[in-house]
A and B are shown apart, each in its own frame.
Chain A
Amino acid sequence: MAEAEENNKTLNELADKEYKYGFYTDIELDTAPKGLSEDIIRFISAKKNEPDFMLEFRLKAYRHWLTLKEPEWAHVNYQKIDYQDVIYYAAPKKQPKYESIDEVDPELLETFAKLGIPLDEQKVLAGVAVDAVIDSVSVKTTFQSTLAEKGIIFCSFSEAVQNHPELIKEYMGSVVPYTDNYFAALNSAVFTDGSFCYIPKGVRCPLELSTYFRINAANTGQFERTLIVAEEGSYVSYMEGCTAPIRDENQLHAAIVEIISHKDAEVKYSTVQNWWPGNKDGKGGVYNFVTKRGICKGENSKISWTQVETGSAVTWKYPSVVLMGDNSSGEFYSVAVTNNYQQADTGTKMIHLGKNTKSTIISKGISAGFSNNSYRGLVKTTKNAINARNFSQCDSLLLGDKCGAHTFPYIEVGNKSSIVEHEATTSKISEDQLFYCLQRGIDMGSAIGLIVNGYAKDVLSKLPMEFAVEAQKLLSISLEGSVG
């Protein structure tokens, strides 16, 4: 009994813990009126000074979106979004091209400081190039010149539209067409900014590229669009991380990430997602409806997704790989943590089209409180995908008896030489492990943190160094003491 009380106490303490990154920066915004219409889309396009093909693309997407219905198949429940009650464009008003860091709005810099973004000179040594996005417009980009020497283009999406329209025209929508799904169509119509990354032939990107997304203004939907193109024989490791301030109304985040990996190229995409999950009564929080997909276009190409999902009230996210080139490979490593009333429906799709293609899926779900955590994944090998190989492992850990852990794999095999294996287990924290830690003098909270970190180690070890540290902290914050 005493132990149970102790556990409850730890749990309550944890639940009461305030969201660590909850603060709000007041910057004058240049916002569009609420609502969505062709006029708003024209407004966004004009505001961003876009070429005609972009406007056409947006309008086509919008018209297609009007014909679609919001999907309901995911294992999540949320109050339907009123798309007319969202502001689709908000940009910081002061928008000059900064020559030096002193010119940047100090309030903004403070925000970054709180987040610990390595934007100043010292941080250069950390070896991270940051394209920081606050409310949809890129404000500051570092390392441009280092990267430019190698011929690498790493800039905001809107800059890329202005400076490299031919690349945007060629690749935008080629992996995730605007017809793909409801949220992809919405994003294609109204996206405001994002990142663009192009690695030329044979170049190995010397830095870990990273972008911090942050939702900042109230009632602003964040519609990011990321496009990464890796030419033949190139390599890039790309990191994306997010935190969001406390808000009472639900905020919508519908992003698109597209990756194109050509012959012999490798792209590694890592995400730490820590949007505001809502308070402990399930009020508020970010809706995270993201479409992420990569295509291994050439032979021997590789795409690897690693994600640590601890935030958002509702997550709907399936980073996928289309394995088109022969001998190409796809990887998906995921840790998804849900607490309180969070809901996550996440997983991956591995579509094997080429010969000797390989894919690996490692997914670790951890649910606590009243949350629901689902893995949903598809592995498909077509008739021509000779000798395709897949291994999937999806484990779920339950902390507490009010939460749910679900596994929904879909496997389709269409030839005789493919080998597809899927295994999954669901259990709670082993009492033996917990007992061992306790009898070595480790308190309950730390013991659970330790065991959970060990459980997720397969995935965490795939993250770049800087992220791995942050991710481990996040896991501990989200989970310690959640009762075994």
Chain B
Amino acid sequence: MKELLIDLYNKNSELINNGSPLFVKELREKALEVFKQNGLPNTKTENWRQSDIQSRLEHEFAFNFVNQSKSLDVVDIFTCDVYDLDTFSVTMLNGWFVYQNAPITQLPDGTIIGSLSKAMEVYPEIIEKYLGKAADINKTGVTALNTAFMQDGLFVHVPDNVEVEKPIQIINIVDLKENTFLQPRHLIVVGKNSKLTVVHCDHSLVHNISFSNTVAEIFLEENSKYEHYKVQNMGKNSSLLTNLFIKQKEGSSLVTNALTLNGAFTKNYVDVGINGKNCNSELYGLYLVDSAQHVDNQVFVDHAEAESTSNQLYKGILDDESRAVFSGKVMVRKDSQKTQAYQNNKNILLTDDAKVFTQPHLEIYADDVKCSHGATVGQLDPNAMFYLHSRGLCEKTARQLLMYAFASEVVNAISIPALKESIDNMVQKRLRGELSICDQCLLHCNDRESPVFDIDLNKI
């Protein structure tokens, strides 16, 4: 696969670099060199031992080096009508930005939202300042690969002192007849004292095999606030790698939340670099997987500066023969005194065939710190089950209720009420086994229908 990808780049380098500024071309070629050396991670690579991407790549894939989605009317594909969720929505079709009205929109407050490939032409100075500065190509082979092939994705630039009211929703759709290999690249910059929320939905319309390797770079300037929600509800043939690289400056605050409800193979990597004092990072994750699904959450929080706080909470419920991996790492560098870092991973196994691998790691080089981590793997609490039975609840409802309560700790951390409600609803449905892959994403599941539980939750 490695040789094939390198060959592919060499054959298509003109198409890939068409219209890009020189520095982007140089970055791509540098990344290709790194990729040539490092290749793709395999099961002997630390943090990839349990997540074998090589076997997911043993297919013929089609690559799209030209944007064919430009002119499409996104309404023809589908419309987003999330109840009460008022967002500025952008659509990515097969890895390319759908222009809708314009490739780049500038809001009255100065916020720029648009296609990354177009932004390379229009705002080369901004792109040059940030592109590739957070996503270290030496870190993982997939990041180098994405950097070599990056062409399009979302570009957002929020100027200083602007609070963007509406969340930006990225809808990433795969709709191709062939097996598809996608490498979207997003770049988000939040200026000083500014605020932004992004909701990122992954979504497949077809059941073909797809492999998506996304890299997003997010820069948080001083005292900015940023929230990133990732909702994954992909088909059973899709493999999804998402690499989120975040650089935080002094006083900035970050919330990420990865909600994995379906997807054959999902790996979410979150890399947070804390490069200023008084930063706050809250990282959440929820995974509800069954059948042969595989979900891997890898987190790296690098406390390079003192007096910051980070908190990780990842929870999951596993059914059937599913697999879940959590590998969290907190690094507290020398002199990063007064750091507080917490890490927690909790899992519930429902069957004997499901498997959990959890590795909460701490690496600490400063002494005046408070760091702790915890990991548990277990079952539903028999005492709680007994209590619910004694209150007249049947086995099934009691189980669902407890699982729902387990999951809601993460769901309740969502700060957008409409999104929280719709995710809450999805979780309930998912636990009842109703949220199938046809019933996808946020888009169709918020119809204000009859309550999901047999009992009225409000009365508890």
Contacts and interface: CB of A to CB of B under 8 A. Distances in A.
A324 interface: no
A411 interface: yes
Nearest to A372: B365
B337 A424 contact: no
A411 B355 CA distance: 10
Contact of B359 (A396, A411, A416, A428): A411
B373 interface: yes
A399 B46 CA distance: 30
B378 A409 contact: no
Given A401-B337, A403-B367, A419 B378 contact: yes
**Secondary structure class of chain A's binding surface, majority of residues:** strand
Contact of A411 (B358, B362, B365): B358
A329 to B, nearest CB: 19
A406 B367 contact: no
Contact of B376 (A415, A421, A424): A421
A412 B347 CA distance: 11
A426 B369 contact: yes
Contact of B364 (A410, A423, A426): A426
A241 to B, nearest CB: 30
Chain B interface residue bracket vs A: 35 or more
A232 B459 CA distance: 58
A403 B350 CA distance: 42
A340 to B, nearest CB: 16
A402 B366 CA distance: 7
Interface string A296-307: 000000000000
A383 B352 contact: yes
A420 B359 CA distance: 13
A67 interface: no
Interface in A391-407: 396, 398-407
A402 B370 CA distance: 16
Interface string A401-441: 11111111111111111111111111110000000000000
Interface in B313-345: 334-335, 337
Interface in B356-405: 356-379
A41 B265 CA distance: 50
B174 to A, nearest CB: 32
A420 B376 contact: yes
B364 A416 contact: no
Contacts of A402: 334
Contact of A424 (B367, B372, B377): B372
A424 B368 CA distance: 16
Contacts of B378: 418-421
A427 B370 contact: yes
Contacts of B359: 408-411
Nearest to B355: A414
Nearest to A381: B377
Nearest to B366: A401
A456 to B, nearest CB: 18
Q: Which of B352, B355, B369, B372 gathers most chain A CB within 10 Å?
A: B352
B363 A400 contact: no
Contact of A401 (B358, B361, B368, B374): B368
B412 interface: no
Interface string B114-134: 000000000000000000000
Contacts of A399: 367
B349 interface: yes
A86 B243 CA distance: 47
Nearest to A484: B367
Chain A interface residue bracket vs B: 35 or more
A420 to B, nearest CB: 4
Contacts of B337: 401
A53 interface: no
Contacts of B366: 398, 401
B368 A428 contact: yes
Contacts of A407: 360-362, 373
A425 B335 CA distance: 19
Contacts of B354: 416
B371 A425 contact: yes
A420 B350 CA distance: 14
B334 A406 contact: no
A423 B334 contact: no
Nearest to B367: A398
Interface string A360-397: 00000000000000000000000100000000000010
A426 B362 contact: yes
A404 B369 contact: no
A78 interface: no
Contacts of B350: 416
A403 B366 CA distance: 7
A413 B335 contact: no
A423 B377 contact: no
Nearest to B347: A413
A420 B351 CA distance: 15
B353 interface: yes
Nearest to B376: A421
B362 A424 contact: yes
Contacts of A423: 372-375
A412 B367 contact: no
A238 B361 CA distance: 33
A363 to B, nearest CB: 13
A416 B352 contact: yes
Contacts of B361: 406-409
Contact of B374 (A405, A422, A428): A422
B379 A411 contact: no
B379 A417 contact: yes
Contacts of A73: 46
Contacts of A398: 364, 366-367, 369
A414 B376 contact: no
Contact of A419 (B352, B367, B369, B379): B379
Given A413-B355, A415-B352, A425 B46 contact: no
A405 B353 CA distance: 35
Contacts of A409: 358-361, 375
B335 A401 contact: yes
B353 A411 contact: no
B372 A420 contact: no
B289 to A, nearest CB: 14
Q: Which of A73, A413, A420 gathers most chain B CB within 10 Å?
A: A413
Given A400-B367, A426-B364, A426-B372, A411 B334 contact: no
Given A398-B367, A412-B356, A422-B376, 12 more contacts: A396-B364, A401-B366, A405-B362, A409-B360, A410-B358, A412-B355, A416-B349, A422-B374, A423-B375, A424-B360, A426-B369, A428-B368
Q: Which 7 A-B pairs have the closest CB atoms?
A: A398-B367, A413-B377, A426-B371, A415-B352, A425-B372, A407-B362, A416-B349
Interface of B: 46, 334-335, 337, 347, 349-379
12 contacts: A73-B46, A407-B373, A408-B359, A409-B375, A412-B357, A413-B355, A416-B350, A416-B351, A416-B379, A420-B375, A426-B372, A427-B371
